[in-house]
Amino acid sequence: MPRLLQINTSIFSDGSQSTGLADAFTARWRTANPDGMVSVRDFARDPVPHLDAHSFRAFTTPEAERSAAQRAAVAYSDALIDELRAADVIVIGLPMYNFGVPSTLKAWFDHVARAGVTFRYTADGAVGLLADRKVYLLAARGGRYLGTELDTQSRYVRDFLAFLGLRDVEFVYAEGLQLGEQEASAALAAANACIEALAA
């Protein structure tokens, strides 16, 4: 059966525009895939800890030499990676905070990027080790940044996912959400129309 992993990265569990868009995608996907399974990871309710020296050293220590605390750190990272590997479709609610991604999403990136596990280095550069599958990014923004130099977020997220082997990435944008009710309504309507088509 198909599996969808929804990742909510907003600091707000409820009332977030990006989470609302991700929820809308998942609801439509459920309708199109009645036998499908959905897993949801909400960083507001269950934040991923920021990578520290202890965890990083645990990743690079040979398995037989790891302490109990290091084994626990690796097991946490492994669980996040296993969740990612199990998904056929990945849906990420992505708000823009200060021109970048939420810090907990960066923390998740740091825990799932593991040399020899999700990528490896070769003479020709890094090679992603995750099997490619569809990733949808539901991007909610207060202003309008798409196509400008200030939209470093899109390129960063796309490059990171490709680094792991996830290259089939599609963004749905809802921009101008803080530029007045009329503009926000139009942006959300357009985003939901796009979601309707994609999720089907």
The pLDDT assigned to 159 comes to 98
DSSP-derived 3-state class of residue 106: helix
The pLDDT assigned to 14 comes to 79
Q: Whole-prediction pTM value?
A: 0.95
DSSP-derived 3-state class of residue 154: helix
- Rounded to 5°, the CA angle 115-152-28 comes to 80
The CATH architecture one would assign to domain 3-199 is 3-Layer(aba) Sandwich (3.40)
User: What secondary structure letter does DSSP report for 17?
Assistant: H
The pLDDT assigned to 43 comes to 97
- CA dihedral (175, 164, 92, 156) in degrees, to 10, reads -20
Residues of the chain with pLDDT under 70: none
The pLDDT assigned to 102 comes to 97
Query: CA 39 from chain center: how many Å?
Result: 13
Query: CA 68 from chain center: how many Å?
Result: 29
The pLDDT assigned to 175 comes to 96
The pLDDT assigned to 13 comes to 79
Q: Where are the domains of the chain?
A: 3-199
